[in-house]
A = this chain, B = another copy of it.
Amino acid sequence: MSLVSAQTVATHNSSESCWIIVHGKVYDVTEFLSEHPGGSKIILKYAGADATEAYEPIHPPDAITTNLPIEKHIGTIDPNTVVKAIKQVTEEDRRRQALLDARPPVDEMLNLHDFEAVAKAVLPAKAWAYYSSGGEDEITIRENRAAFQRVWFRPRVLRDVSHVDWSHIILGQKSSMPVYISATALGKLGHPDGELNVTRAAGKHGVIQMSLDQIPTLASCSFDEIVDAAQPGQPLFLQLYVNRDREITKRYVQHAEKRGIKALFITVDAPQLGRREKDMRMKVVDDNGTAKVQDGQQDVKKNEGISRAISSFIDPSLSWKDMAWFRSITNMPIILKGIATPEDALLAYDAGVQGIVLSNHGGRQLDTSFSGLENLPPIIAALKTRGPWPNPNFSVFVDGGVRRASDVLKALALGASAVGIGRGFLYSFCAYGQEGVEKAIQILHDEFQMNMRLIGARSINEIVAEMVDASALSSRVGLPPIDNLYNDTCESTSFNSTIQE
């Protein structure tokens, strides 16, 4: 590739001709402007200049090369022509560094809530808004947590609990606990290494990570980066957003299978992204690159291009009819993520897929939908009409609001095959990187040991329905009027009090 001078690049600084520099390479993105899922405005901000710093946290490294035809790859920037900008340390940078310096040692983290408290304190406001926001009035996201607090234990005593074992098999893969790590998006907003922190910690501790597919506006680490970071034989799952262009979808799926992915989770609860207004609000205020991810929901008049761009890759026409096709293109187990009713659970079963996730997308899609946990008992009851439960050929997973090993045990007692945790691990790397994820895993192990001993279960098999009382789950009586998540646990860390003073 030929060398290009910074001066030449600088002349292509408009929508008529727009060149940008990313990672030392020069690209002509003029024709791509109207297709950019993040809108043209944000690219034009860097027209004729280096866009790397804005590009980095919200795109996988290969996003630009994958999406841009080879003839638009203009060349390599001539380093001699670049005027080294002295990176200005901003007030915001200083403030953030001070917060990071004030973090308590990772050893002081006692539960997964703690990571959330630290992450909230150290994250840029926008990243916190993006991660923590739920749909509309955020009733479902609150309900997700509350539901677990409405299931009570019926502990058995005087069993020999010298040895308790919570290792588990999930979709045929060994896991050190009955938990997998749900996929989360845009992890680089919170930590330079993004989801790779999870990959490394999961590999080290025998936990299974679900990774996002390669759709560039959602993942900030590319799929291949994650697979490359995994240890040999480390099991990974894939969460797929189905593309309107089924050829692209097919390519992704088959590439994933080739790279050793163990299961395919197809997102079925997001034909359109939910209104995450806390996030939208943040972006409206100070519009920059990260703002556009949610813009599909914005005023159509103003953001038509973006809206269309977003819709161009998530396919709202995805339906039961497509299931046979998926089965035809892969041998991976297929799991439908986002089932919420017994009716759809039976349709999934009858469609021949290998399982479902009872999920409301972390409360980020349809508000006032039930928690996955609340949907669990009626769905298990429905599946029992198809044969004995548990069924070795069909798995039912649950996610949403899980913060404690005790939450996981409750879901298992109610019939779940395993449980997904997303934000808990996301916040742990936002707060402490890989070390945070490892600590979070360790905390869960400690909690599993203690709680299994205290309920009198020595293995996953011994966690039976009689060990919980879920009568308040669907009646929703006894919703704790105080949110222990923030008020009790997190707000009393020494770290917070230091910050507040």
Contact = CB atoms under 8 A, between A and B. Distances in A.
A201 to B, nearest CB: 15
Interface string A142-179: 10000001011111111111100000000000000000
A339 interface: yes
Contacts of A297: 446, 450
A451 interface: yes
Interface in A377-407: 404, 406
A475 interface: yes
A110 B137 CA distance: 11
A158 B366 contact: no
A486 B453 CA distance: 33
A277 B494 CA distance: 13
A449 interface: yes
Contact of A271 (B317, B454, B489): B454
Contacts of A489: 137, 277
A275 interface: yes
Given A136-B404, A479-B481, A450 B154 contact: no
Contacts of A492: 278, 281
A269 B454 CA distance: 7
B476 A158 contact: no
Contacts of A474: 471
Nearest to A483: B482
A297 to B, nearest CB: 6
A139 B366 contact: no
A153 to B, nearest CB: 5
B299 A158 contact: no
Contacts of A480: 139, 142
Given A368-B149, A370-B152, A454 B344 contact: no
A156 B138 CA distance: 20
A272 interface: yes
A116 to B, nearest CB: 13
Interface in A457-475: 466, 469, 471-472, 474-475
A368 B151 contact: yes
A315 to B, nearest CB: 8
A152 B476 CA distance: 12
A42 to B, nearest CB: 17
> How many copies, total?
4
A83 interface: no
Interface string A479-498: 11100100011001110000
Interface centre among A366, A447, A454, by most B CB within 10 Å?
Answer: A454
Contacts of A149: 137, 139, 368
Given A152-B368, A272-B450, A449-B272, A285 B136 contact: no
A190 interface: no
B475 A107 contact: no
Given A406-B136, A446-B297, A454-B272, A469 B370 contact: yes
A144 to B, nearest CB: 13
A154 B107 contact: no
A465 to B, nearest CB: 13
Given A160-B316, A160-B321, A368-B406, 16 more contacts: A137-B488, A138-B484, A139-B149, A153-B366, A154-B370, A155-B366, A157-B340, A158-B318, A161-B272, A162-B317, A272-B449, A272-B453, A281-B494, A300-B446, A367-B406, A471-B474
5 contacts: A151-B368, A158-B318, A369-B454, A370-B469, A475-B475
Interface of A: 107-108, 110-111, 136-139, 142, 149, 151-162, 268-269, 271-272, 274-275, 277-278, 280-281, 284-285, 297, 299-300, 302, 316-323, 336, 338-341, 343-344, 347, 365-370, 404, 406, 439, 442, 446-447, 449-451, 453-455, 466, 469, 471-472, 474-481, 484, 488-489, 492-494
Task: Give the top 10 A-B pairs by smallest Cβ distance, nearest first.
Answer: A476-B478, A366-B454, A162-B317, A157-B268, A160-B317, A137-B484, A160-B319, A481-B481, A271-B453, A153-B369
